[in-house]
Amino acid sequence: MINSLKFILSTQLKRSGINKTISGFTLIELLVAMVMAVLIITPLMTFMISILDSDRKEQAKATSEQEIQAALDYIARDLQQAVYIYDNDGVNRIIDTTTIGNSGIKDQIPPVKSASSCSDVNICKPILVFWKREFVANSVGITDDTETSDTQTDDGFAYSLVAYYLITNTDSANPTWSKEARIGRFELRGPVNADNANDIRGRKFNPGFNPPSINKTGATLKIKMNQWQTALATGDNYSSVDNPVRVETLVDYIKAPELPSTSTLPEASSTPCSNLNLVGSKTSGFFACVDATEVLAQVYIRGNALARLQNDNLDYAVNTKTYFPSSSIRVQGRGFLFSK
């Protein structure tokens, strides 16, 4: 009996020893497994990183395209109400009281007459400037001029001077915006010119507003409109008065200007302003072609999606041209000026 127990115990110990020796992995097996894991996982990780990077780049392009189109749609709605659009003479000349035919409104609007976000002539440049006749709902009372007591109201119209600017930020002076450029919008609103224009909507206007200068001396409407002057007092600007007028950003990540001698942009060699007056530079991300007589403007915008992805090497090149989406609109103003 004792011998039998010894035999059984010896057998169990041997089996236990065998199981113990084969229950783990050898060092060679672990090394082989690690090498195989590296060979399989590394390509997969590289592939996934490439997919994520491509997705990020495509998203940047798509975002730029959408924002450019939205900005052009907004500008188009503005321009449809235009009654007069300034060409390059009006935008880049100053008032000349001696030779009125050489006048312009450059010194009457920002940045020369500075406004918030647009006070430096080197980085804030007017491109598209026009007068529009704007519809103002419920701005005129039927029996009196107080909207709160007059339940019956009528609609009115008011003139506004609108200007769109290319604002560069290539030195990153303003950390809020991209390192490239953005488009800003300035509007100088006038009152509704009607009896019983109410206090809430009809009478309010921005400091510095003067109506369009259609009563000035001149043989043409262009000469008259180029003599427009702000109502601001001498020494004042649009940011120093009560209820200051700002230049509000419409869209960011716009291509900043670059030297024409180094530019390879298609617009630099083409003639998009054929028979129209160019305002701005064709090598920048925002310029316009204007026919002041026909109240017609063609507006070009080019974005810079590279600025969303990196901080350096943001210039246009053939191999990166897909990162510079562009679009344009052609709009003729439908408004009209009252000369009486």
Predicted structure pTM score: 0.82
Instruction: Give me the phi and psi of 279, to 5 degrees please.
Output: -120, 120
Contacts of 13 (CB under 8 A, 6+ apart): none
pLDDT in tens, the chain (340 residues): 566 656 665 666 566 555 555 566 788 878 887 888 777 877 777 777 777 777 788 898 999 999 999 999 999 999 999 999 999 999 999 999 899 999 999 999 999 999 989 999 999 999 999 999 988 877 777 766 555 555 677 788 889 999 999 999 887 788 889 999 999 999 999 888 777 776 666 667 888 999 998 888 988 999 999 999 999 988 899 988 888 899 999 999 999 886 544 456 665 555 567 778 999 998 889 999 999 999 999 999 999 999 999 888 888 887 888 999 999 999 999 887 765 4
CA atoms within 13 A on the CB side of 288: 31
Q: What is the 3-state secondary structure (H, E, C) of 292-318?
A: CCCCEEEEEEEECCHHHHCCCCCCCCH
CA-based max dimension of the chain: 136
